[in-house]
Structure 1
Amino acid sequence: MKDHRRYDIDWLRVIAIGLLLIYHVAIGVQPWGRMIGFITSEDSWSTLWIPMTMLNVWRIPLLFFVSGMGVYFAMRKRSWKSLIVERGQRILLPYVFGMFAIVPIHLWLLRHYYGMSQSYTWSPGHLWFLGNIFCYVLLLSPLLFYLKQNETTKLATWIKKTLSQPWGLLFVLAAFVAEVMLLDPVPFELYALNWHGFVLGLLAFFFGFCFVLSGELFWKMIQKWRWAFLAIAGLLYGFRIAQYGSSIPGYLLAVESLAWIFAVLAFGSKHLNKPGKALNYLSEAAYPVYILHMAFLYLGSAWLFPLAIPVQLQFFGVLGITLGGSFGTFEIIRRVGFLRPLFGLKPVKRSPESLVLAKTAS
């Protein structure tokens, strides 16, 4: 496989972060949202949770898979040391900055809205995902570099051959089922700041890397079976809805989660592997928008939820404020050189002509 860029992976990252924003806004119109630290409306839109619960079992694991895929391409022109430095600049720096400068904003808004005592509190908050990713890079990079630089060895060849066949996905499934059986997470969908989320993310990150390592045979295989993945996912989701209120075994949720993810990867690789101006813009915006969105979500919630308007208008209003505020702030960040690295953006490269002009002016 040539190491050309896969635009479908970029699109899936953008789509996954977009779904995450919608999901977080939806929590604000659920009666239990305050229990997990969200500002919530006095009215609830319970039926909205039917499609949201479908997303809940695969939205975060998909991001971990996509992150592992991205590392494969990041390793193309980097040594182990340069990869760690680059990931530290792109992931660890925004994580630390956000933990001390961004997350406290929405925590302050939460306390202010509910009349709680105010104090400065730093926390990973929604940025826990970034901390996990950086840990995975540190832990797995020796193995990943070995596989990437020795793609003709027995181990790499076996991985490629196995993952090019549908039965090879049973090894992936077995790993995720084993994780659920050993850790017994309750609920399965709670990934933040616990061992279930860490181990599940580690597995997804590693297998995401292996999927890209396996090359075109893997992508052709999942495209061939895409409708089967979708059918399995749909059937298991239907079973969950039918059993609403009952405890669903964790291993079934793991199977459903992977079926959705395989279907999304398959349809994405078939239909989204195309460049474009929209993708270029959204790919750059996705990371800062993810970092910023909770502050604007809480601001919009505090403003709109007390208003005597239908809960559906509250939902779409908060969603509009979240998107508008996050993208508007991104437009400022992308134009301010010293802010860019704090939000995971690459520094702007100055052209040779601008350097010459700068030296001339000095």
Structure 2
Amino acid sequence: MPRRHDIDALRALAFALLILYHCAMLYVADWDWHLKSTHLSEALQLPMLAVNRWRMDLIFLISGLSVHFLLRGGQLGRFVAQRSWRLLLPLSFGCLVVVPIQPYAQGVANGLVEPGFVDFLLRYYRFQPWPEGAFDGWQYGFTWNHLWYLAYLWVYTVVFAALLPLFRHRAGRALHARLVALRGPALWILPALPLALATCLLQPLFEETGDLIHDWYRHAIYFTVFAYGYWLGNDAGLWAELARLRRRSLALALALLAVYLALVIVLPEQIPDALQYAVWTLRNLYLWCAIVAILGWARACLDRPFAWLPWANEAVYPWYVLHQSLTVLIAYWILPLRFGPVLEPAIVVAGTVAGCWLLHAGIRRVAWLRPCFGLKAGPRQAAGAAAQAAQAAQAA
């Protein structure tokens, strides 16, 4: 089956947006983050909010799509083992080697960690609690910060593998057939309803803390869109419908966003429960319509072998692992220098991109580093492994 270039391109673009989003977190007013610039903008809140409502949902849906393609004709046990290796090794390596600069910079900025990165690491690797509020995750002694996605994705992958017999059962296949048969307004509305229901039932009970054990609201949302991605798969009819509806989906998403942002602006923080449920339902309708529009436009415009796509496919994983630590490190260095509201963010973005580019260029050439950043064996390593396998087969 031909490779779906649109999905590859969409994955790369989704993570590129994530990098820009995290850079912007330095500057959006009233939103907590690891470090904050003195050049804060309230106007930045609205575009950030518009993106925030679907950015991670889109990434988890693309992850579900990837599972669909990886499972075709493969053994389930081997799939789980390979995915565990490609998720848990970068997560462990990233938490120990890449992420620590973030809690260090945050702790120093908060005045609760003494300057001196080596001394910090010696204390950090004891995995004991830090002074309250030193950095995100101070209670546990360490943090995975932006790498939480890898932990969540691994859990969803294992749970999905355990539930796969149900998905492949008669009832699961019937539900799948109903989903891929959705057309027109039903495609905009029906998949959003489980998301809205989960929000109304669970968001009042569980804060979005990034705590894997207690994050049941986000689990319900992200696992649902992960399953949608698997079910969406490569169904030609549904993808054709997504492309056909792309203009109307975009218009509807923008209309829903306008109403939602207007309500966010005019409504007080405390509102009646019935009104709150209506706002949450509207938010989830916007979330899903935005994803439908993105998928439709990607199918119509991105399904071609762009020259940059092979490089981007490889770069996505290491850039994701590296980017936030680079952003925080650069900000830690330059925020005290007061470069101004234009030059400072330009340095942060350019430095993050340049750092990811240079480090990825080095990582891809070091055999033992490649799996630590989610990369498969390079051509030389793959050829060597194939030769060893052939020799072993001949000896047997």
Q: TM-score, normalised by structure 1?
A: 0.88
Task: Return 5+ residue gaps in structure 1 as ranges.
Answer: none
Q: 1:105 to 1:31 in 2, by over 3 A?
A: same
Distance in 2 between residues matched to 1:187 and 1:17, nearest whole Å: 26
Task: State the shift of 1:288 in Å.
Answer: 0.7
Task: State the shift of 1:93 in Å.
Answer: 1.3
Is it true that 1:320 corresponds to 2:350 in the alignment?
Answer: yes
The equivalent of 1:265 in structure 2 is 295
Counterparts of residues 144-163 of structure 1 (less than 5 Å): 144=164, 147=167, 155-156=172-173, 158-163=175-180
The equivalent of 2:341 in structure 1 is 311
Distance in 1 between residues matched to 2:360 and 2:309, nearest whole Å: 15
SS in 2 for 1:311: coil
Task: State the shift of 1:90 in Å.
Answer: 1.1
Distance in 1 between residues matched to 2:385 and 2:37, nearest whole Å: 55
Task: State the shift of 1:171 in Å.
Answer: 3.5
Distance in 2 between residues matched to 1:269 and 1:133, nearest whole Å: 24
Distance in 2 between residues matched to 1:168 and 1:235, nearest whole Å: 17
Distance in 2 between residues matched to 1:23 and 1:182, nearest whole Å: 28
Segment drifting more, 255-264 vs 269-278? 269-278
Distance in 1 between residues matched to 2:217 and 2:386, nearest whole Å: 50
SS in 2 for 1:43: coil
Distance in 2 between residues matched to 1:156 and 1:110, nearest whole Å: 49
The equivalent of 1:122 in structure 2 is 142
Q: 2:364 aligns with which of 334, 338, 342?
A: 334
Is it true that 1:199 corresponds to 2:220 in the alignment?
Answer: yes
In structure 2, give the amino acid aligned to 1:165.
L
Q: C-alpha deviations, 1:327-362, integer Å up to 9, x for none?
A: 211111110000011110001243369969xx9xxx
Task: State the shift of 1:161 in Å.
Answer: 4.6
The equivalent of 1:233 in structure 2 is 253
Q: TM-score, normalised by structure 2?
A: 0.81
In structure 2, give the amino acid aligned to 1:324.
A
Identity over aligned pairs, percent: 27
Does structure 1 conserve the Cα–Cα contact (< 8 Å) formed by 2:53 and 2:287?
Answer: yes
Q: C-alpha deviations, 1:128-165, integer Å up to 9, x for none?
A: 111111111111124446656x8xx5642552354232
The equivalent of 1:208 in structure 2 is 229
The equivalent of 1:178 in structure 2 is 197
The equivalent of 1:102 in structure 2 is 98
Does structure 1 conserve the Cα–Cα contact (< 8 Å) formed by 2:68 and 2:233?
Answer: yes
The equivalent of 2:127 in structure 1 is none
Counterparts of residues 237-256 of structure 1 (less than 5 Å): 237-243=257-263, 244=265, 246=267, 249-256=279-286
Does structure 1 conserve the Cα–Cα contact (< 8 Å) formed by 2:4 and 2:303?
Answer: yes
Q: How many residues align?
A: 348
Distance in 1 between residues matched to 2:41 and 2:315, nearest whole Å: 29
In structure 1, give the amino acid aligned to 2:17.
L
In structure 2, give the amino acid aligned to 1:182.
L
Q: 1:199 to 1:279 in 2, by over 3 A?
A: same
Q: 2:88 aligns with which of 81, 85, 92?
A: 92
The equivalent of 2:244 in structure 1 is 224
SS in 1 for 2:44: helix
Q: 1:26 to 1:185 in 2, by over 3 A?
A: farther
Does structure 2 conserve the Cα–Cα contact (< 8 Å) formed by 1:103 and 1:122?
Answer: no
Segment drifting more, 114-123 vs 279-288? 114-123
SS in 2 for 1:236: helix
Q: 1:186 to 1:331 in 2, by over 3 A?
A: farther
SS in 1 for 2:287: helix
In structure 2, give the amino acid aligned to 1:65.
L
Q: 1:277 aligns with which of 307, 312, 315?
A: 307
Q: CA RMSD in A?
A: 2.5
Segment drifting more, 304-313 vs 242-251? 242-251
SS in 2 for 1:82: helix
Q: 1:66 aligns with which of 62, 65, 71?
A: 62
Q: 1:144 to 1:316 in 2, by over 3 A?
A: farther
The equivalent of 2:129 in structure 1 is none
Task: State the shift of 1:89 in Å.
Answer: 1.3
Runs of 4+ displaced beyond 4 Å = 145-148, 185-188, 352-356
SS in 1 for 2:142: coil
Q: 1:316 to 1:185 in 2, by over 3 A?
A: farther
Distance in 2 between residues matched to 1:302 and 1:114, nearest whole Å: 12
Distance in 2 between residues matched to 1:169 and 1:79, nearest whole Å: 34
The equivalent of 2:22 in structure 1 is 24
SS in 1 for 2:16: helix
The equivalent of 2:394 in structure 1 is none
Q: C-alpha deviations, 1:233-275, integer Å up to 9, x for none?
A: 1112112332315356211111111111110001001110112
- Could you say which structure has the greater relative contact order, defined with CA pairs below 8 angstroms and 6 or more residues apart? 1
